[in-house]
C-alpha cells in the first residue's frame, strides 16, 4: 500500500497526460478543430474538459492523502500527489495558449 | 557454534564450484556484480578509444585521418557502447554487487537470472564490439533512425548488428531490472520498513521500475525494424503506410527515461556517500524519496523534446516543453538536499568527495543547458549541433561518470579489502575534470557557431578549427586521466595495504561484513530499527559474526535468506536459493545462437535455437520446488516462518508480475504504434480491407476464458485437479490455434501495407503468450504428477495462473483490436 500511495499522484498525471495527448492527436487527425459544440470548438473543449478533470482529481487525491500523516512515506505520498496535480496543471497550459494543430 | 565454525559452514554452502566449471556456473551476486563492473569498464575503455579517434579526426578541418564510412561506424559505436554496454551494465553491476549487502540479505532474489543476464550481456556486447573489428559495425548513429538505418540506405548487416546486439543486451537489462525490484521489495533485513531502507535502495528501486517500463518500447522498435529489414514488413516505410517517426517515438519513449535510468543510480551513490563524507545524516530523506519517484514518472513525459524539429503541432510541443522544464524541480530538490547535508556536516575532502565536487560543477552546467534545450525556439536553433553533444556529455558524464568514479573510490576498500597505494587518484581527477571541461565547454561554442553533429569533416572557412583543436587536446587530457584512474584502481587491488573494516565510518549494513566480503555476506542476518543500523550500534558487525542475528545456523546445506513483508519488513518466509548452475550460460548460448542465425540471415535455423531456449528453461524450472512438505522453520529469534515452498507472495510470483508488466508495456507500445500509424502515417486507411473476424473472436474469447477458469479450479485446494488442467490446456490450445489461423486465413499480407504488418505482429504477440501459457500448463501437469504441486505448496500453480490470465487477456484484446480495425477500414 505505501508504494501505491507514493505512485498514485503521478500515475494520475501520467494517465491524464497520455489522454490529453491522445485526444490532441486524434482531434487533429479527425478534423475536430473545425467542429463546434454550441459556442465551443470541439477539440479544445474536449481537451480543456480532460485537463480540468485530471487537475481536480489530482487535487482531490492530494487532499485525501494529506489525511495520512504518520510516516515519512505518508508525507512523501502527499507531496507527490500535489506534484502530480501541479504538473497536470502546468503541462496542460498549452491547451489554452497555443493553436492546436499548427 | 562459534564464529569460525559458522563461517566455515556458511562458506561451504555458499561457495562456487572450482575451476573452469566454476567460471560458467557462478551465480553469486558478488561475483556476477564484479564481472558486470569489470566488463563495463572494459567497454568504457573501448568507447573511450573510439572517442579519441573522433577527436583526432575533428582536430583540424579537412582531416584525412579516417574516411566518412569508418567515421560513421566510430561515432555510432562510441554512443552505442557508452549507453548500452557501459552505463546500464555498470549501474546494474554496482546494484547487483551492493544491494543484498545494503539490505541485509545473503543474495539477490533470482541468482540464476543474474547469471543469465551476465552471459547475455557478455555475448551481445561481444557481437557488437566484434563487428568493429571486421568493419561491419553499426553506422547510422546510436539512435539508428530509419530510413537511414533501413534496408534501402543500409543494405549490409551494420544495422542488424545494432538491432540484434542491443536486443540481446536488453534481455540482460530486463533480467537485472526484475531481479532488483523483487530483491528490494522482498529480501530485506527484519525490521527494514520501506522508510528505513538505505536511500540507495530507493534510487535503484525507481531505476529498475523505469527499466521495466522504459525498455520494452525500444525492444519493440528493434524487433519491428529488424523484421522490416529481414522480411520487408513496412512499419517505417511511408510509401506503404509506415512512418519513420514511429521509430523516433518508440526510441525516445525509451531514450529519455534512459537518461534518468543512468543518472538515478549515480545519484543514489551520491546520497550515500555525501553524508558519510560530511560526517552527518542525509537531510530530507522523505523529500529525496519523493523527488526520486517524481523523476521516475516525469521522465516518461519528456520524450518528444528529442523530436521538436519533426513537425509535430505546436500544442504537443508545448506539453512536452512544459514537462521538460518541470523535471528540473525534483532534480534541484536533490541537489539542495546534498548541499544542505554538506552545510550541516563537517565535510572532509577525501578522494570520493573530490569527485563529487566535480560532479556538482559539471552536472549543474549540464542541467542548465538542458533547461535551455527544453525551450522550443532555442531547441530548434541548436538541434543536431555540437551544442547538443556538449549538453548530453555534461549531463551523462557529470551525472554518471563523476559519481561512479567517486563510488569506485568509496567502495573499493569493500570490494578488495585494501587501501589506496599512492595519491594517483587526485592527479587523475584533475586531468579528467580539466580535460572534460576543455573538451565539452568548447563544443557548446562550436555548436552555437553552427557545427552539426556527426560530420566527419568541415571546411576551414567555417572558423571552427581552433575550437575543435582545443576540444581534441582536452579529450586527450581526459584520456590520460582515465588511464591514471585505472592504474590507481589496479594498484589498490593488487598492492594496497589491508583496510580496516568500515574505513569511512559509514552507518549502512554493507560495512558490517568482512572485506572483501564472504560469499554469504552476513554470518547472521541483521535486525534493523533505523536507516543507519551500523551507526546506531557500533558492535553490530561483531554481534552478527557471533551469530546474534537471524538464520545464524547453517541448515541442511540450504542457501537460506530471509524474505519479508513488503511494507513492514516483518519476516515472511525463508527463501532457499539455488546454487551454482550451468543452465544460465546454456540459456544465454541458445539466445546467442538465435541472434547469430538472424544476423547471418539463416532464418530457418533460428527457431531451432528458440526451441533450445525452451528446453533449457523447462529444465531450469524443473530444478525448483519440493516434493515433501518442509514445515515451519525457526529463524533464530524464537519465531518460525514457512519456507518459500509453502509461503504466499514469494519472489517467483513477484518476478512474474514484473515480467508481465514489461511484456504488457511492449504490448501497449504496439497498440500505440497501430493507432499512431492509423492517425498520422500517409496512405491510410489501406486499400486491402479486413472482414471483422467475429467468429474467430468468439472462439478466442471462449478458449481464453475456459483456460483462465479451469486453471483456477486446478489450484491444489481440492483433489489433484488434473482433469481441470487438461481443460485449461484445451482452452488455451483453442485460442492458440485460432490466433495462428488469422494470418493465414484473414489478415492482409504483412508486406503490402503497414496495416497488415502491424496486425500480423499483434497476432504474433498473442500467439507467443498463448504458446508460453500452454507450455506452462503442460509443465504444471508434469509437476502435479511428480508431487511438486500439492495442497500447501500452491506457489507454482499461482505463478502459472498469472501467465495464463495474461495470455487469455492479451488474446482477447488482440481479437478485439482486429475487430475494431476491420470496422475502421
Q: Cα torsion at B116, B95, B107, B117 (round to 10°)? A: 0
Decide which of B672, B705, B733 is a domain's last residue. B672
Asked if residue B733 belongs to a domain, the reply is yes
Number of Cβ atoms within 10 Å of the Cβ of A4:
9
Based on the domain organization, do B194 and B218 belong to the same domain? yes
pLDDT band at B305 (very low <50, low <70, confident <90, very high): confident
pLDDT at A41: 87
Q: Verify whether the Cβ–Cβ distance B318 to A20 is below 8 Å.
A: no
Q: Verify whether the Cβ–Cβ distance B314 to A102 is below 8 Å.
A: yes
Asked if residue B464 belongs to a domain, the reply is no
More confident residue, B639 or B764: B764
Asked if residue B591 belongs to a domain, the reply is no
How far, CA to CA in Å, does B240 sit from each of B224, B243, B634, B681?
A: 15, 9, 66, 9
Could you give the angle at which helices B68-80 and B158-186 cross, rounded to 10 degrees? Answer: 10
pLDDT at A29: 87
Chain A, nearest residue to B316 by Cα = A21
Measured in angstroms, the CA of B285 and the nearest CA of chain A are apart by: 8
Q: What is the distance of C-alpha B510 from the center of its chain? A: 23
Q: Are B268 and B795 in contact (CB under 8 A)?
A: no
Residue A38 has pLDDT above 90, yes or no: no
Chain A, nearest residue to B320 by Cα = A91
Asked if residue B453 belongs to a domain, the reply is no
Based on the domain organization, do B122 and B224 belong to the same domain? yes
pLDDT at A35: 86
pLDDT band at B177 (very low <50, low <70, confident <90, very high): very high
pLDDT single digits (tens) B135-150? 999 999 999 999 999 9
Chain B, nearest residue to A23 by Cα = B316
Based on the domain organization, do B668 and B690 belong to the same domain? no
Q: What average pLDDT score do residues B466-473 get?
A: 97
Max intra-chain CA distance, chain A:
52
CB burial string B669-679: b at 16+ within 10 A, e below: bbebbbbbbbe
DSSP string, B104-129: T-SS-S-HHHHHHHHHHHHHHHHHHH
Q: Verify whether the Cβ–Cβ distance A91 to B319 is below 8 Å.
A: yes
CB burial string B175-209: b at 16+ within 10 A, e below: bbbbbbbbbbbbbbbbbbbbbbbbbbbbbbbbbbb
Q: Verify whether the Cβ–Cβ distance A73 to B195 is below 8 Å.
A: yes
pLDDT at A71: 82
Asked if residue B416 belongs to a domain, the reply is no
pLDDT band at B718 (very low <50, low <70, confident <90, very high): low
Based on the domain organization, do B166 and B46 belong to the same domain? yes
pLDDT at B720: 62
Of A14, A91, A100, the CB nearest to B313: A100
Average pLDDT of chain B, as a whole number: 94
Looking at residue B772, what DSSP letter applies?
H
Based on the domain organization, do B658 and B760 belong to the same domain? no
Strand partners, B563: B573
Residue from A76, A84, A90, A101 to probe the interface with B (highest B Cβ count within 10 Å): A76
Based on the domain organization, do B565 and B700 belong to the same domain? no
Q: What average pLDDT score do residues B484-494 get?
A: 96
Q: Verify whether the Cβ–Cβ distance A10 to B297 is below 8 Å.
A: yes
pLDDT at B689: 75
How many angstroms separate the CA atoms of B416 and B408, rounded?
11
pLDDT single digits (tens) B741-797? 999 998 999 999 999 999 999 999 999 999 999 999 999 999 988 888 877 788 899
CA nearest neighbour of B127 among B81, B75, B78, B93: B81
Task: For residue A7, list chain B residues with Cβ-Cβ distance below 8 A.
Answer: 293, 297
pLDDT band at B218 (very low <50, low <70, confident <90, very high): very high
CA nearest neighbour of B265 among B200, B320, B362: B200
Q: Verify whether the Cβ–Cβ distance A3 to B290 is below 8 Å.
A: no
Based on the domain organization, do B691 and B811 belong to the same domain? yes
Share of chain B above pLDDT 70, in %: 99
Mean pLDDT lowest among A53-67, B304-318, B578-592 = B304-318
Number of Cβ atoms within 10 Å of the Cβ of B561:
26
Task: For residue A92, list chain B residues with Cβ-Cβ distance below 8 A.
Answer: 319
How many angstroms separate the CA atoms of B34 and B36, rounded?
5
Share of chain A above pLDDT 70, in %: 100
Based on the domain organization, do B101 and B215 belong to the same domain? yes
First to last CA, chain A: 44
Of B293, B300, B318, the CB nearest to A94: B318
Asked if residue B33 belongs to a domain, the reply is yes
More confident residue, B89 or B328: B89
Strand partners, A40: A37
pLDDT at A31: 86
CA nearest neighbour of B24 among B13, B14, B35: B35
How many angstroms separate the CA atoms of B710 and B715, rounded?
9
Based on the domain organization, do B647 and B793 belong to the same domain? no
Cell, residue A17: 497526460
Q: Residue B813's domain is classified under what CATH number?
A: 1.20.120.80
Decide which of B672, B706, B738 is a domain's last residue. B672
Asked if residue B230 belongs to a domain, the reply is yes
Based on the domain organization, do B658 and B744 belong to the same domain? no
Looking at residue B282, what DSSP letter applies?
P
pLDDT at B687: 82
Provide the number of structural domains found in chain B.
2
Q: Are B14 and B22 in contact (CB under 8 A)?
A: no
Q: What are phi and psi of B631, to 5 degrees?
A: 80, 175
H helix runs in B417-531, sequence order: 424-448, 465-495
How many angstroms separate the CA atoms of B112 and B107, rounded?
11
pLDDT single digits (tens) B253-292? 999 999 999 999 999 999 999 999 999 999 999 999 999 9
Residue from B284, B290, B310, B564 to probe the interface with A (highest A Cβ count within 10 Å): B290
Residue B235 has pLDDT above 80, yes or no: yes
Based on the domain organization, do B116 and B255 belong to the same domain? yes
Give the ipTM of the model, two decimals please. 0.95
Residue B566 has pLDDT above 60, yes or no: yes
The residue range of the domain holding B165 is: 24-263+546-581+623-672
pLDDT band at B716 (very low <50, low <70, confident <90, very high): low
How many angstroms separate the CA atoms of B680 and B400, rounded?
37
Measured in angstroms, the CA of B376 and the nearest CA of chain A are apart by: 13
Residue B719 has pLDDT above 60, yes or no: no
Asked if residue B164 belongs to a domain, the reply is yes
Residue B1 has pLDDT above 80, yes or no: no
Q: Which residues contact B311 (CB under 8 A, 6 or more apart)?
A: none
Residue from A92, A98, A99, A102 to probe the interface with B (highest B Cβ count within 10 Å): A98
Task: For residue B675, list chain A residues with Cβ-Cβ distance below 8 A.
Answer: 22
pLDDT at A33: 85
pLDDT at B226: 97
pLDDT single digits (tens) B362-397? 999 999 999 899 888 999 999 999 999 999 999 999
Measured in angstroms, the CA of A13 and the nearest CA of chain B are apart by: 9
Cell, residue A52: 480540468
Based on the domain organization, do B661 and B740 belong to the same domain? no
Amino acid at each position: 500500500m505505501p508504494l501505491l500511495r507514493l505512485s498514485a499522484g503521478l500515475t494520475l498525471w501520467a494517465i491524464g497526460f497520455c489522454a490529453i495527448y491522445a485526444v490532441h492527436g486524434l482531434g487533429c487527425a479527425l478534423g475536430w478543430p473545425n467542429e463546434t459544440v454550441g459556442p465551443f470548438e470541439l477539440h479544445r473543449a474536449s481537451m480543456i474538459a480532460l485537463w480540468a478533470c485530471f487537475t481536480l482529481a489530482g487535487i482531490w487525491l492530494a487532499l485525501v492523502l494529506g489525511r495520512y500523516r504518520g510516516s515519512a512515506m505518508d508525507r512523501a505520498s502527499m507531496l507527490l500527489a500535489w506534484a502530480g496535480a501541479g504538473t497536470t496543471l502546468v503541462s496542460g497550459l498549452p491547451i489554452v495558449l497555443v493553436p492546436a494543430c499548427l | 557454534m562459534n564464529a569460525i565454525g559458522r563461517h566455515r559452514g556458511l562458506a561451504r554452502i555458499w561457495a562456487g564450484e572450482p575451476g573452469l566449471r566454476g567460471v560458467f556456473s557462478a551465480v553469486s551476486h558478488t561475483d556476477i556484480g564484479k564481472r558486470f563492473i569489470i566488463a563495463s569498464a572494459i567497454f568504457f575503455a573501448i568507447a573511450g578509444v573510439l572517442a579519441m579517434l573522433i577527436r583526432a579526426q575533428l582536430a583540424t578541418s579537412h582531416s584525412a585521418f579516417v574516411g566518412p564510412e569508418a567515421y560513421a561506424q566510430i561515432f555510432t559505436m562510441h554512443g552505442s557502447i557508452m549507453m548500452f554496454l557501459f552505463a546500464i551494465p555498470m549501474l546494474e553491476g554496482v546494484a547487483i554487487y551492493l544491494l543484498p549487502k545494503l539490505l541485509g540479505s545473503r543474495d539477490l532474489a533470482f541468482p540464476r537470472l543474474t547469471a543469465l543476464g551476465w552471459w547475455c550481456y557478455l555475448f551481445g556486447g561481444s557481437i557488437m564490439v566484434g563487428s568493429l573489428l571486421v568493419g561491419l559495425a553499426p553506422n547510422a548513429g546510436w539512435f539508428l533512425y530509419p530510413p537511414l538505418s533501413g534496408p534501402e540506405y543500409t543494405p549490409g548487416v551494420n544495422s542488424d548488428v545494432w538491432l540484434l546486439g542491443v536486443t540481446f543486451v536488453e534481455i540482460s537489462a530486463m533480467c537485472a531490472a526484475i531481479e532488483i525490484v523483487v530483491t528490494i521489495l522482498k529480501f530485506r533485513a527484519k525490521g527494514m520498513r520501506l522508510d528505513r531502507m538505505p536511500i540507495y535502495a530507493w534510487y535503484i528501486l525507481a531505476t529498475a521500475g523505469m527499466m521495466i517500463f522504459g525498455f520494452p518500447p525500444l525492444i519493440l522498435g528493434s524487433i519491428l525494424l529488424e523484421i522490416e529489414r529481414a522480411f520487408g514488413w513496412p512499419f517505417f516505410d511511408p510509401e506503404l503506410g509506415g512512418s519513420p517517426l514511429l521509430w523516433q517515438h518508440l526510441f525516445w519513449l525509451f531514450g529519455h527515461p534512459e537518461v534518468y535510468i543512468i543518472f538515478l543510480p549515480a545519484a543514489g551513490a551520491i546520497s550515500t556517500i555525501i553524508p558519510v563524507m560530511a560526517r552527518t545524516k542525509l537531510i530530507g530523506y522523505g523529500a529525496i524519496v519523493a523527488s526520486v519517484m517524481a523523476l521516475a514518472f516525469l521522465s516518461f513525459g519528456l520524450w518528444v523534446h528529442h523530436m521538436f524539429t519533426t513537425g509535430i503541432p505546436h500544442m504537443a510541443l508545448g506539453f512536452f516543453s512544459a514537462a521538460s522544464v518541470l523535471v528540473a524541480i525534483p532534480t534541484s530538490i536533490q541537489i539542495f538536499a546534498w548541499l544542505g547535508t554538506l552545510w550541516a556536516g563537517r565535510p572532509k575532502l577525501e578522494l570520493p568527495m573530490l569527485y563529487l565536487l566535480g560532479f556538482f560543477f559539471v552536472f549543474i552546467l549540464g542541467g542548465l543547458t538542458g533547461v535551455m534545450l527544453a525551450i522550443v525556439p532555442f531547441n530548434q536553433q541548436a538541434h543536431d549541433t555540437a551544442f547538443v553533444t556538449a549538453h548530453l556529455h555534461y549531463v551523462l558524464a557529470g551525472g554518471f561518470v563523476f559519481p561512479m568514479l567517486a563510488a569506485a573510490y568509496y567502495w573499493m576498500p569493500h570490494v578488495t579489502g585494501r587501501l589506496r597505494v599512492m595519491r594517483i587518484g587526485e592527479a587523475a581527477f584533475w586531468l579528467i575534470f580539466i580535460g572534460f571541461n576543455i573538451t565539452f565547454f568548447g563544443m557548446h561554442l562550436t555548436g552555437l557557431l553552427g557545427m552539426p553533429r556527426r560530420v566527419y569533416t568541415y571546411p576551414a572557412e567555417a572558423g571552427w578549427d581552433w575550437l575543435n583543436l582545443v576540444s581534441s587536446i582536452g579529450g586527450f587530457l581526459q584520456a590520460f586521466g582515465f588511464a591514471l584512474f585505472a592504474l590507481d584502481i589496479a594498484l589498490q587491488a593488487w598492492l594496497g595495504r589491508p583496510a580496516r573494516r568500515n574505513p569511512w565510518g559509514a552507518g549502512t549494513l554493507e560495512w558490517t561484513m568482512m572485506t572483501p566480503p564472504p560469499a554469504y555476506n552476513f554470518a547472521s542476518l541483521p535486525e534493523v530499527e533505523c536507516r543507519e543500523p551500523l551507526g546506531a550500534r557500533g558492535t553490530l558487525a561483531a554481534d552478527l559474526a557471533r551469530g546474534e542475528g537471524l538464520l545464524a545456523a547453517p541448515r541442511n546445506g540450504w542457501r537460506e535468506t530471509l524474505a519479508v513483508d513488503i511494507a513492514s519488513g516483518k519476516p515472511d518466509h525463508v527463501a532457499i536459493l539455488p546454487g551454482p548452475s550451468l543452465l544460465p550460460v546454456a540459456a544465454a548460448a541458445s539466445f546467442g545462437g538465435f541472434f547469430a542465425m538472424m544476423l547471418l540471415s539463416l532464418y530457418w535455423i533460428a527457431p531451432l535455437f528458440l526451441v533450445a531456449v525452451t528446453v533449457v528453461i523447462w529444465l531450469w524450472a524443473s530444478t525448483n520446488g519440493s516434493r515433501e512438505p518442509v514445515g515451519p522453520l525457526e529463524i533464530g529469534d524464537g519465531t518460525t516462518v514457512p519456507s518459500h515452498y509453502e509461503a504466499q507472495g514469494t519472489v517467483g510470483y513477484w518476478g512474474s508480475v514484473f515480467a508481465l508488466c514489461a511484456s504488457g508495456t511492449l504490448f501497449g507500445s504496439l497498440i500505440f504504434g497501430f493507432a499512431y500509424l492509423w492517425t498520422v502515417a500517409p496512405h491510410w486507411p489501406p486499400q486491402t480491407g479486413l472482414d471483422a473476424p467475429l467468429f474467430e473472436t468468439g472462439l478466442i474469447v471462449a478458449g481464453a476464458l475456459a483456460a483462465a477458469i479451469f486453471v483456477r479450479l486446478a489450484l491444489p485446494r481440492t483433489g489433484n485437479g488434473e482433469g481441470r488442467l487438461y481443460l485449461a490446456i484445451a482452452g488455451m490450445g483453442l485460442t492458440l490455434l485460432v490466433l495462428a489461423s488469422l494470418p493465414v486465413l484473414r489478415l492482409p499480407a504483412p508486406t503490402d501495407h503497414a496495416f497488415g504488418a502491424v496486425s500480423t505482429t499483434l497476432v504474433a504477440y498473442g500467439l507467443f503468450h498463448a504458446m508460453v501459457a500452454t507450455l506452462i500448463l503442460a509443465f504444471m501437469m508434469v509437476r502435479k504428477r511428480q508431487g511438486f504441486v500439492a495442497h500447501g505448496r500452491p506457489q507454482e500453480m499461482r505463478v502459472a495462473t498469472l501467465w495464463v490470465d495474461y495470455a487469455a487477456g492479451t488474446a482477447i484484446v488482440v481479437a478485439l483490436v482486429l475487430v475494431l480495425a476491420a470496422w475502421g477500414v
